[in-house]
Chain A
């Protein structure tokens, strides 16, 4: 019996509100990442107001202008469209393509995993083995294969990535769910006659949510990169849409002419996915109760 389990003989303060948020704040890297992400999101949301508002407006004369050109502070792309405008509008599509699949996979995969974990037995076996088939493929390969079948377009990209992400989410949720399923308080809930669906919602969901949300946020950056990658390969969002991966593709030839310019979309992808990663780490630490002692 550890010394740590020593008891309080008088009342200790009960939990303050929003404990997770409070634990996140002292971590400087996490706060910086959260601010960065917030800025990017704001940039995408307010794109019409902070840019020229014309992501498709090209100009034959003003092609591949370098960074710092008056009127186009981040330069222009190979068709003469303003980079800053394209990047800001691109943020919309990229962020959607990055976050929507994660949210959808979380709902679908999380739900399947929770049920598989609780049910055990044959239902569990069927669900998990089907997932294993998908899981066996490397995610990029699977994304390309499904993407090629589905075709291009934002909706298809989101659907493709959702399919790719559901198996790992099911796996993680099922393993956490199975572990909790065998704990005494679930047995106690069954013994007091609480029906299955209520046990899953009231008792299991809360305990599973922590690890699975952390796992999901780490996928957000993967999703962003994968969707950009799909667009880069021509499978995601088609031109002339402004999307960072798409932009990387079209600027490929210009890399010898304007290297810094061509790297800009890549830089945006990097910063966004990095921020998501750092936030995910911070969230994991904040939710880890043991580290809080």
Chain B
């Protein structure tokens, strides 16, 4: 699903065209990403919403060239002017850290347990920016203060097991920001955190994004997270974007049946006493994708034609696109309130 880049506006910092990723294994081939295209400008936040088995993590990792060697990738990925799929090792190493950085779900595994937090940030700065140790130490302190860690000077000397989960995730963010990346990729960074910590981190990311004018791609399964931080949302199912648009488009007036099903499954206040609608069935096996629309077997509105025809994106006005053959026949969506 591509969007028109308005003339005269800034070129997008991330540009993906027809990305397809297949993971070859001994007995089968997993079609993790099946044709994804999008643009992202600096200062914009895109949230990719998908459940398990949607291919969202694979898609995110392909943007940094982090896929295993058994991955067959076609299409085009341009990040900050670099052609990621054709970049050599050196270029990729420069790209990671300077142009794009990633934060993961488990902060405890992102930090090396035998080095202090300060050491890890300083090492990155010396390596990538060529700073002196003194300058790097000063910058490390600034970074920890940027992510609102209290007593930052003391934290620099802590090891990762000495600090709490929320603090760790902030340190991971500080580490990721060390080299002023233009793009930040986040793979479910708040899923493992408590609610009170999650909201702090979401607000932090929102602030950092606007202060540093970073582009952010946030992968999550939580609609609430998307509502809080993103400008644009893409809903991913079986390796494709089934609906894209602004956050308001997707959360307030979704048109694709899967998106609607997801919203109806999301619990919120006032749903007490109602039978939950959910979505029947389970996500498809990415090694055995059906022909036609991947959601059709579970869709309440699908017909014969849906099983043999993979829908393209239909423009719905503005930047709102939905991939569904039967858009015109769908009843009006009444969100559960």
Residues of A bordering B, CB below 8 Å? 1-9, 292-293
Among residues of B, the one whose C-beta sits closest to the C-beta of A2 is B57
> B58 contacts A6, CB within 8 Å?
no
User: Chain B 29-62 against A: per-residue CB contact (8 Å), 1 yes, 0 no?
Assistant: 0101000000000000000000011010110000
> B32 contacts A3, CB within 8 Å?
yes
Contacts of B58 in A (CB 8 A): 3
Q: What is the total number of residues of chain B having a CB less than 8 Å from a CB of chain A?
A: 21
> B26 contacts A6, CB within 8 Å?
no
> B297 contacts A9, CB within 8 Å?
yes
Residues of B bordering A, CB below 8 Å? 23, 25-27, 30, 32, 52-53, 55, 57-58, 188, 281-288, 297
* Bound: A4/B284 CA distance, A: 12
Among residues of A, the one whose C-beta sits closest to the C-beta of B30 is A3
* Bound: A5/B27 CA distance, A: 15
* Bound: A292/B28 CA distance, A: 11
Contacts of A3 in B (CB 8 A): 23, 30, 32, 53, 55, 57-58, 286
* Bound: A292/B282 CA distance, A: 25
> B30 contacts A4, CB within 8 Å?
yes
Q: Quick one: given A3-B32, A3-B58, are A9 and B284 in contact (CB under 8 Å)?
A: yes
* Bound: A18/B63 CA distance, A: 42
Contacts of A292 in B (CB 8 A): 26
> A7 contacts B283, CB within 8 Å?
yes
**Shortest distance from the beta carbon of B48 to any chain A beta carbon, whole Å:** 13
> A7 contacts B27, CB within 8 Å?
no
Q: Quick one: given A2-B57, A4-B30, are A293 and B25 in contact (CB under 8 Å)?
A: yes
**Minimum-distance CB pairs A-B, first 10:** A6-B53, A1-B52, A7-B282, A6-B286, A3-B32, A8-B285, A293-B25, A6-B285, A3-B58, A9-B282
Contacts of A7 in B (CB 8 A): 53, 282-283, 285
Contacts of A4 in B (CB 8 A): 30
> B52 contacts A5, CB within 8 Å?
yes
Contacts of B281 in A (CB 8 A): 9
Contacts of A1 in B (CB 8 A): 52-53, 57, 188
Contacts of A8 in B (CB 8 A): 285, 288
Contacts of A5 in B (CB 8 A): 52-53
Among residues of B, the one whose C-beta sits closest to the C-beta of A293 is B25
Q: List 29 A-B contacts (CB under 8 A).
A: A1-B53, A1-B57, A1-B188, A2-B57, A3-B32, A3-B53, A3-B55, A3-B57, A3-B58, A3-B286, A4-B30, A5-B53, A6-B30, A6-B52, A6-B53, A6-B284, A6-B286, A6-B287, A7-B282, A7-B283, A7-B285, A8-B288, A9-B282, A9-B283, A9-B285, A292-B26, A293-B25, A293-B26, A293-B27
Contacts of B286 in A (CB 8 A): 3, 6
* Bound: A3/B52 CA distance, A: 7
**Shortest distance from the beta carbon of A7 to any chain B beta carbon, whole Å:** 5
Among residues of A, the one whose C-beta sits closest to the C-beta of B51 is A1
**Shortest distance from the beta carbon of B128 to any chain A beta carbon, whole Å:** 29
* Bound: A12/B27 CA distance, A: 14
Contacts of B55 in A (CB 8 A): 3
